[in-house]
């Protein structure tokens, strides 16, 4: 476990990456995929999840609702929503615990 993951451990012992996998699957109502099926580096779009542009809008809402993070524009969303790892890094950077 790396130091970023240690700082994000919450009740229940889940890392930020694990939390994000569960939230994405639950909030976007993705069927036939479990959080354990995803790696931190799987692409969110065009990969196992098969997300599309409407899902990107929902991801913006998920980040705001669960983490208080606003995605300001399309370029920021592209970088943030590449993988679970990039989402986690974006959240950490915005929360100030890089």
Range of the domain at 57: 3-95
Residues paired with 43 in a beta bridge: 83
* pTM of this structure: 0.82
H helix runs in 8-96, sequence order: 16-27, 53-67, 74-80, 84-95
Number of structural domains the chain divides into:
1
Tens of pLDDT, residue by residue over 62-81, are 999 999 999 999 999 999 99
| Dist. CA 96–CA 7, nearest whole Å | 12
pLDDT-based confidence at 6, cuts 50/70/90? very low
Q: How many residues does the chain have?
A: 98
Predicted local confidence at residue 96, as pLDDT: 81
Confirm if 20 and 87 have CB atoms less than 8 A apart: yes
Predicted local confidence at residue 59, as pLDDT: 95
| Dist. CA 43–CA 86, nearest whole Å | 10
What's 9's domain CATH number?
1.10.1200.10
pLDDT-based confidence at 8, cuts 50/70/90? very low
């Amino acid at each position: 476990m790396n130091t970023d993951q240690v700082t994000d451990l919450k009740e229940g012992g889940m890392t930020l990456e694990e939390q994000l996998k569960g939230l994405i699957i639950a909030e976007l109502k993705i069927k036939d995929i479990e959080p354990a099926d995803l790696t931190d580096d799987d692409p969110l779009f065009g990969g196992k999840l098969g997300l599309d542009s409407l899902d990107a809008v929902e991801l913006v809402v998920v980040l705001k609702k669960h983490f208080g993070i606003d995605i300001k524009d399309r370029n920021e969303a592209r970088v943030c929503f590449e993988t679970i790892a990039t989402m986690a890094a974006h959240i950490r950077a915005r929360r100030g615990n890089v």
